[in-house]
Structure 1
Amino acid sequence: MEYLSLYMFLAVCLLLMLGYPVAFTLAGTALAFAAGGIIAGVFDASFLNAFPGRVFGTINNTTLIAVPLFILMGTILEKSRIAEELLSSMSRVFGRLQGGLGISVVVVGMFLAASTGIVGATVVTMGLLSLPSMLRAGYSPALATGTICATGTLGQIIPPSIALVLLGDILANAYQQAQLKMNVFSTQTVSVGDLFVGALIPGLVLVALYIIYLTVYARIRPDAAPPAEEDPVSVAEVLRGLLPPLILIVLVLGSILVGAATPTEAAGFGAVGALVLAMVRRQMNLARLREAVIDTMEVTCMVFMILIGAAVFSLVFRGFGGEELIHGFFLDMPGGVMGATLVVMLVIFLLGFILDFIEITFVVVPIVGPILLAMGLDPIWLGIMIALNLQTSFLTPPFGFALFYLRGVAPDTVSTGAIYRGVLPFIIIQLLLMTALWFWPQMATWLPALLQK
């Protein structure tokens, strides 16, 4: 009977590859297997009695309120063209340097990732704003597209990231389940704020590695990253474009880091701050505000419908004994907890080709998270590793989501092969960072532990 859970998981992956809606695929496939199991007498229907409680728990979960608020914050900043002004200012500062436009894209992409937290929005925005200017300046199409794709995926790891908000909530539940498995009764838990703090050092290191790569590459291949002919820019102009979004992001993150606000409260402050900033700059009107609210509503509805579908799937999966099957598989695996973690990371990496981070967070992490945490892994380290892993998966040809997003807005003169070649060095950089984090988990755990003292 336990193997029916694996067949159900494979059926979901197949249906998703065929293009069926994620939320309804998760719930529909699970209910179909459950109905068959009830008829065959191999599934206990009482498992589904927990579904209303799961939905009510989601409604009462104040942490998840941060999701629509952070989405609204990023959408307002996008609609108000603040990112466009920031890119223009940074390009005029760095553009006259060898590889300067690429560095500008990374810096602006970091700020955009910190404000939107959504890979697709960042890649498309940066592709529309920066790719034409980079190509006009004589940049290699491979270097230009690779830089934009890699920068766009920073939304997975740079807080406040939607991926980290969802991962933090799921891992908090997984940590409680792991403590029950180990018969440990502790008040210690993991929060979204812990993941935000833990992601700071790896995220900034990744940005620094991107900039170092672009600088070195521009020295070796000056023809691939020539200086742009930009007009001089004054310090006042740079500060006018840079300071407002920077102050907003620092206040949002800073309030979480010092414990002055929860992620939900900080998200509310960020959404209001973004609206005030857009209004002060006279870049917001009722039409743009309506677009921002509708976009936020659509993304939020998608997230929570997937969450409900994933709740049905996880209950049926557990009813078929899938959790015990995977637990036994991990315990018998050579290499112990590290071997099990490596297999999970490989599976998540491959699933990143066909599933978005939301589906993986809601479907895969609740299954493997409690088992890995019960084996002794640090929840903050595990969350950061999963976020970096997904970020790498979204970049990897031929199925990476970031590649498809950029292909949709790139001109026909840029070949798909050039995009694939351009992202390969950045994939290597991310793999190196994941390797460093594997051997030095303190990169993710040191700062949260320091702030908790």
Structure 2
Amino acid sequence: MSTLIEILPFLMFAAAFAALLRGYPVAFTLAGVALLFALIGMALDVFDPIHFRAFPQRIYGNLMEMDRQILVAVPLFVFMGVMLEKSKVAEELLEAMGALFGTMRGGLGISVVVVGALLAASTGIVGATVVTMGLLSLPTMLKRGYSPELAAGSIAASGTLGQIIPPSIVLVLLGDQISNAYQEAQRAQGIFSPDIVSVGDLFAGALIPGLLLVGFYIGYQVFIAITRPNSAPAAPAAEGGTDWGKILHALLPPLGLIFAVLGSILAGLATPTEAAGIGAVGATFLAGARNAGSDNNPRLGQLVSFVGLAALVGLFLLVVFANLGQDRRLFVADLGAMGSLFAWGLVGLTVLGAALSLWRLKKSGVLDEVMSSTANISAMVFVILIGASLFSLIFRELGGDEVVQHALEAVPGGKWGALAIVMLVMFLLGFFLDFIEITFVVVPIVAPILLMMGIDPVWLGVLMAMNLQTSFLTPPFGFALFYLRGVAPPEVTTAAIYRGAIPFVIIQLIGILAVALVPWLATGLPEWLYG
């Protein structure tokens, strides 16, 4: 009986894993397995039902407290990403980058990597990025003579950059869990005025590793173009005319939005939630300007959207240069009569432009799709969070956290051995589970233990994010490979997709090893920005 009690937490985790593999809904699986093992624990007299009284407070604390408003950024970033997906940004970027790099060997592969990085920084939705680029660029690459393996691997790998390049839904959720784990670890060590790790810290920490991976991907494209030129041929010179007007039209809007969102977070001008609001409104303007097919006067509608976007940029600049509208800073009334009139005018133009853009998107049917996708994805995230909270509560009350702590402390190599084991387990779980389940179930269990061993929280969060990104790409179960398989033409076999992904998985592992050996890659920028 004592042996059964000791292994009960592991049986609970195994039962949840088996149920997830059977295809049961994640949130209800986590909650259902947790309740089942709570009943078993009550029968064995190792679980007191009074602990259920703590569950509402855990939910309230997770979703409603003011210091947890970071989770409000999730639906806003989802809205921003889906809106940009519907606004033809990816299509224009691929065409522009293809015209810019296509006439050089490996140019289309480089274009795919650059576009993947830009879409990662503006949408952050892996499935949408892989599917969009698979539909748009895979047929073109095959037509130009690219090997199916290189084309498929480039698209799948570039699509996963949305996991690591901020602003990313993965980093928002992971940052929230790491922050909680860090405070819990400090309280366990007797530190009752704990340091705080924010999502902004994790955004800053992930930026250099994300760009490092982009550089590695581009370097691999150049290497293939030199060593196997037949696998990455150049486009015909006649098709390579560079129209800088089109290129700038495709590049400047998403780059401006990325700068406004990510720059405001890193510069400390806005919280991730506030920056997500800027991104959502900016994406609405871009989509409104580019979905004019149902308008009688599309140019007028585009002009209104661009005027609203310009007004939003003006307000952003007022925040930057006039310190407008934040606590302990100037308010509109402090700008004087003319300044106040100007600021309120910008607010009015922004609101008017947003309203007209939403009206145009509603007429074209885009808004309904965006709102439906945003509601579905956001609801999925928060329902899983609730189920995972119940799961972790009962897992801990059954002694699971102590069992995991003893197991990790017994691993040879101290904190480095424990970190290696955790990273391996997360990598293997990534074959079968989505990043949301891993973030909400595994991270709260193992992160406090690793942090109590002295591991830097930002460095740990970046390593975990890169690890989850790698599992998205690894055959045979990588989600990105399944997304691409669903839209790839019949001549691109599943085996070709797998073969094409393997070199990029090796690059990912090299990137993880580089960050593990040189922690400054993850901690240097946050320390420089925030001390």
The reply to whether TM is greater than 0.5 is yes
- Does residue 1:179 correspond to 2:186, yes or no? yes
Counterpart of 1:81, as a letter, is K
Equivalent residue for 2:145? 138
Equivalent residue for 1:204? 211
Equivalent residue for 1:265? 274
Counterpart of 2:414, as a letter, is G
* Bigger Rg over Cα: 2
- Does residue 1:64 correspond to 2:71, yes or no? yes
- Specify which of 124, 128, 135 is matched with residue 117 of structure 1: 124
Q: Partners in 2 of 1:270 and 1:361 — Cα distance? A: 24
Q: Partners in 2 of 1:2 and 1:184 — Cα distance? A: 30
Counterpart of 1:141, as a letter, is P
- Does residue 1:108 correspond to 2:115, yes or no? yes
Does the 8 Å CA contact 2:186/2:194 hold for their aligned counterparts?
no
| Structure 2 residue ranges without an equivalent (≥5) | 293-359
Q: Partners in 2 of 1:163 and 1:292 — Cα distance? A: 20
Equivalent residue for 1:228? 235
Q: Partners in 2 of 1:384 and 1:411 — Cα distance? A: 35
- Does residue 1:5 correspond to 2:41, yes or no? no
Structure 1 length as normaliser, TM-score? 0.98
Per-residue deviation, residues 90-127 of structure 1 (Å, max 9, x unmatched):
11111111010011111111111112212211111111
SS in 2 for 1:285: helix
- Does residue 1:152 correspond to 2:156, yes or no? no
Aligned pairs for 1:338-377 within 5 A: 338-377=416-455
Which is worse superposed, 106-115 or 257-266? 106-115
Which is worse superposed, 344-353 or 234-243? 234-243
Q: Partners in 2 of 1:404 and 1:43 — Cα distance? A: 41
The CA deviation at 1:187 is: 4.3
Counterpart of 2:373, as a letter, is D
Q: Partners in 2 of 1:248 and 1:448 — Cα distance? A: 22
- Specify which of 479, 501, 506 is matched with residue 428 of structure 1: 506
Aligned pairs for 1:238-387 within 5 A: 238-283=247-292, 285-286=361-362, 287-387=365-465
Q: Partners in 2 of 1:282 and 1:306 — Cα distance? A: 34
Counterpart of 1:373, as a letter, is L
SS in 2 for 1:407: helix
Does the 8 Å CA contact 2:142/2:151 hold for their aligned counterparts?
yes
The CA deviation at 1:231 is: 4.0
Q: Partners in 2 of 1:217 and 1:407 — Cα distance? A: 23
Which is worse superposed, 276-285 or 361-370? 276-285
Q: Partners in 2 of 1:87 and 1:192 — Cα distance? A: 30
Counterpart of 2:487, as a letter, is V
Query: What is the identity percentage for the equivalent residue pairs of Structure 1 and Structure 2?
Result: 61
Per-residue deviation, residues 130-185 of structure 1 (Å, max 9, x unmatched):
11111111110000000001001101100001000000000110001000111123
Q: Partners in 2 of 1:281 and 1:442 — Cα distance? A: 41
Q: Partners in 2 of 1:448 and 1:141 — Cα distance? A: 40
The CA deviation at 1:450 is: 0.7
Does the 8 Å CA contact 2:113/2:214 hold for their aligned counterparts?
yes
Q: Partners in 2 of 1:135 and 1:50 — Cα distance? A: 57
Does the 8 Å CA contact 2:110/2:218 hold for their aligned counterparts?
yes
Which is worse superposed, 179-188 or 326-335? 179-188
Aligned residues: 453
Q: Partners in 2 of 1:369 and 1:280 — Cα distance? A: 44
Equivalent residue for 1:26? 30
SS in 2 for 1:28: helix
- Specify which of 73, 88, 95 is matched with residue 88 of structure 1: 95
SS in 1 for 2:475: coil
- Specify which of 500, 519, 529 is matched with residue 441 of structure 1: 519
SS in 1 for 2:229: coil
Equivalent residue for 1:51? 55
Structure 2 length as normaliser, TM-score? 0.84
**Runs of 4+ that moved beyond 6 A:** none
Q: Partners in 2 of 1:342 and 1:359 — Cα distance? A: 20
Does the 8 Å CA contact 2:148/2:497 hold for their aligned counterparts?
yes
Counterpart of 2:361, as a letter, is N
- Specify which of 129, 138, 142 is matched with residue 136 of structure 2: 129
Does the 8 Å CA contact 2:187/2:194 hold for their aligned counterparts?
no
Q: Partners in 2 of 1:198 and 1:185 — Cα distance? A: 26
SS in 1 for 2:47: coil
Does the 8 Å CA contact 2:100/2:240 hold for their aligned counterparts?
no
* Superposition RMSD in Å: 1.0
Per-residue deviation, residues 319-358 of structure 1 (Å, max 9, x unmatched):
1000011111112221000000000000000000010000
Q: Partners in 1 of 2:440 and 2:519 — Cα distance? A: 24
Which of structures 1 and 2 has the larger relative contact order (alpha carbons within 8 angstroms, sep 6+)?
1
SS in 2 for 1:364: helix
- Does residue 1:214 correspond to 2:218, yes or no? no
